[in-house]
Amino acid sequence: MSDMVDARGLSCPQPVMLTMEKIKKVKKGEIAILVDTDTSKENVSRAATSQGWKVKGVNQDGTGYRIMIAKK
Amino acid sequence: MIRKFFASRWGIISVGAFIGVFAPLLQKWGNPGNMGICVACFERDIAGALGFHRAAVVQYMRPEIIGFVLGALIAAYLFKEFRPRAGSAPIVRFVLGAFAMIGALVFLGCPWRAMLRLAGGDWNAIFGILGLVGGIWIGTLFLRGGYNLGRAEKTHTSVGWLLPLIMLGFLVLMLLYPQVEGQDKSGILFYSIKGPGVMHAPLFIALGVGLAVGILAQRSRFCTMGAFRDLILFRQTHLFSGVVALVVVAFITNLILKQFHPGFANQPVAHTMSLWNFVGMVLAGLAFALAGGCPGRQLFLAGEGDGDAAVFVLGMIVGAGFAHNFALASSPNGVGPHGIAAVIIGLVVCLFIGFTMRKKVA
């Protein structure tokens, strides 16, 4: 079971802040992040990459996106 | 491909550069000095055109603002990003918008114009920019402490259309009641016959540039507040590189157009009271940070369906009414009679909002 961040409906910079918090907490593994705007999708992907995580996939989830990031 | 480009560093840099070319050009084509684009000033002029304040020198329905919102709407639909949403503490956003405007009008410019003033050689802008960064820094402390305004909800498409429709209505009014040379009123709209309000680029050029900026900024998420916030909060330079591009390119464009006049004194639509240039922008920066976007970004968000950003915009327009009706706004002579009191009240209100709204969402 991967960790999850639900950032739907939150405005900048909350989605990135929540993602960063989670990254600091779990250090490695997989995290699923739910966002509902393209801006958040880009910002979260950019932030995860900058922390050495890989964006494994972005899937449509309802009207938003589910971003899977991972670090070994 | 296009989507990828605008999300890249070169994407945001090219949008900053585009604004850096066209803002000085708009000045060349008629807009006031170092005010090719100023979101706060232009919304203030719109408030004047509607008669929400009666400062005779700043009344004009600025087509750039209309273009920003409609351009963002067009881009959002073209790229399937129109997302109607609302309900994240709208009244707070309204109040933040009003005080952001009051702070910006004590300095005489939004963050966009602060950058353009710097690029035009107005060194008073340095104090404004330092204040802006200071205000944003205070905002990041609140963000770190858990401040947030709660979640927005998906809503009816028409909710997202309301601000764009209001802007379209403004454009229709402008076409119905065009400016008549030497007259301060045309139909129901007020116009200026002297001062910055009379200085403007031709309507369709201003609207065209506004639309282009709206489209590009929606794609690239250009934000002058986010630039500093992300730098302070995450050491991230993505948005910041867009603002740097704007300043550098605007500086070069000003040199070419012979619009670069370095100094402190006698700068266009500016005053030299450094302390209040600084503190005014602390208030504006803090309000933008707490609301999650600079005034330009709020227009683009409103164009892509964000009803809360739309409320912020309306707050700014109402704030402009207060600023001029209560003599809070500065003039080239210095701060208004009640400007200092208003800035202090604004800071207290922002601190109240920052300290008390930290409900955990996760």
Where residue A48 sits, what CATH number does that domain have? 3.30.110.40
Report residue A63's pLDDT band, with 50, 70 and 90 as the boundaries: confident
Shortest Cα distance from A72 to chain B (angstroms)?
A: 22
Q: At what angle do helices B274-291 and B90-107 cross, to 10 degrees?
A: 160
Q: Between chains, do B221 and A36 touch, taking CB under 8 Å as contact?
A: no
State ipTM: 0.93
Q: Between chains, do A39 and B221 touch, taking CB under 8 Å as contact?
A: yes
Burial class, B182, CB count within 10 angstroms (exposed 0-12 / middle 13-18 / buried 19+)? exposed
Predicted confidence (pLDDT) at residue B162 exceeds the cutoff of 90? yes
Mean pLDDT confidence for B343-361 = 92
Q: Between chains, do B151 and A9 touch, taking CB under 8 Å as contact?
A: yes
Q: Between chains, do A11 and B292 touch, taking CB under 8 Å as contact?
A: yes
Q: Between chains, do A12 and B151 touch, taking CB under 8 Å as contact?
A: no
Task: Give the per-residue pLDDT at A2.
Answer: 72
What DSSP string describes B185-227?
Answer: EETTEE--SSSGGG----HHHHHHHHHHHHHHHHHHT--HHHH
Report residue B360's pLDDT band, with 50, 70 and 90 as the boundaries: low
Task: Give the per-residue pLDDT at B361.
Answer: 58
Report residue B3's pLDDT band, with 50, 70 and 90 as the boundaries: confident
Task: Give the per-residue pLDDT at A23.
Answer: 96
The number of folded domains in chain A is 1
Which value, to the nearest 10 degrees, does the dihedral of the CA atoms of residues B299, B332, B115, B194 take? 50
Spatial distance between the Cα atoms of B123 and A13, rounded to a whole number of angstroms: 31
Which value, to the nearest 10 degrees, does the dihedral of the CA atoms of residues B215, B219, B223, B229 take? 170
Average pLDDT along chain B = 97
Predicted confidence (pLDDT) at residue A62 exceeds the cutoff of 90? no
Name every residue in A having a CB less than 8 A away from some CB of B.
Answer: 5-6, 8-14, 16-18, 20, 36-39, 42-43, 46-47, 50, 63
Spatial distance between the Cα atoms of A20 and B280, rounded to a whole number of angstroms: 32
Q: Between chains, do B81 and A63 touch, taking CB under 8 Å as contact?
A: no
Q: Between chains, do A13 and B234 touch, taking CB under 8 Å as contact?
A: yes
Task: Give the per-residue pLDDT at B49.
Answer: 98
Give the tens place of pLDDT for each residue, B195-243: 999 999 999 999 999 999 999 999 999 999 999 999 999 999 999 999 9
> Distance from first CA to last CA of chain A, Å, rounded?
15
Nearest Cα to Cα of residue B335 among B39, B137, B124? B124
Half-sphere exposure of B248 toward its Cβ, with a 13 Å CA cutoff?
Answer: 11
Residues of A in contact with B221 (CB under 8 A): 39, 42-43
Nearest to A18 among B226, B293, B362 (CB): B362
Report residue A55's pLDDT band, with 50, 70 and 90 as the boundaries: very high
Q: Between chains, do B362 and A36 touch, taking CB under 8 Å as contact?
A: no
Task: Give the per-residue pLDDT at B1.
Answer: 79
Choose, out of B96, B144, B230, the residue to mutate when testing the contact with A (most A CBs < 10 Å).
B230
Nearest Cα to Cα of residue B296 among B30, B115, B77? B115
Q: Between chains, do B236 and A8 touch, taking CB under 8 Å as contact?
A: no
Task: Give the per-residue pLDDT at B201.
Answer: 98
Shortest Cα distance from B246 to chain A (angstroms)?
A: 21
Predicted confidence (pLDDT) at residue B359 exceeds the cutoff of 80? no
Predicted confidence (pLDDT) at residue A1 exceeds the cutoff of 70? no
**Chain B residue at shortest CA distance from A5:** B362
Cβ-Cβ contacts under 8 Å for A8 (sequence gap 6 or more): A34, A35, A36, A64, B151
Predicted confidence (pLDDT) at residue B90 exceeds the cutoff of 70? yes
Residues of A in contact with B148 (CB under 8 A): 10, 14
Nearest to A9 among B79, B152, B362 (CB): B152
Mean pLDDT confidence for B117-141 = 98
Q: Between chains, do B88 and A6 touch, taking CB under 8 Å as contact?
A: no
> Percentage of residues in chain B with pLDDT exceeding 70?
99
Spatial distance between the Cα atoms of B213 and B22, rounded to a whole number of angstroms: 9
Q: Rounded to 5 degrees, what angle do the CA atoms B353, B135, B273 make? A: 120
Residue numbers of the domain that contains A12: 3-71
What DSSP string describes B214-283?
Answer: HHHHHHHT--HHHHHHHHHHH---HHHHHHHHHHHHHHHHHHHTT----BSTT-TT----HHHHHHHHHH
Domain boundaries, chain B: 2-356
Q: Between chains, do B236 and A5 touch, taking CB under 8 Å as contact?
A: no
Spatial distance between the Cα atoms of B295 and B298, rounded to a whole number of angstroms: 5
Residues of A in contact with B292 (CB under 8 A): 11-13
Residues of B in contact with A5 (CB under 8 A): 362
